[in-house]
Structure 1
């Protein structure tokens, strides 16, 4: 169901972060430990400086931050904060050929 919601939506960048992660992280236990679990996901897709800072702060202490970033890089996420990085920061990593560590 998550896959249909993400791919069929007119605004996939507005899809809740949890659904984006569920599509790529089969282990529900891993996802339940994410710092963003249960938070308002709009902050991860807002794009304003305040929201971006709040989202990045949430990601900094997340136990699944690296996995989240790897999935976003793999998938080529074009919007939002994933693994503590903005879409522009992830594009820069991909250009350099860097994988999440």
Structure 2
């Protein structure tokens, strides 16, 4: 199991059990679990095409190469999607 798999399980359970906007409390939860990661939020959209409501993407990058991702859109009444884990890319042998 990769770090992102464990984090996604914890984060998705945390979101379901938390009824209020918990801010960045979920990041503290991961730190308490001794997971080492880098956190990043990015807006994605095409302003040139008149997209005035870009997506917000939140990513976690773990030391083992795995990643976790969730997306939010102003059109999504539920707020954020569930977290999704991505395994590291396979290393090609030379």
TM-score normalised by length of structure 1 = 0.29
Point out which structure has higher relative CO (alpha carbons under 8 A, 6+ apart).
2
TM-score normalised by length of structure 2 = 0.30
Q: Which has a greater percent of helix?
A: 1
Q: Which has a greater percent of strand?
A: 2
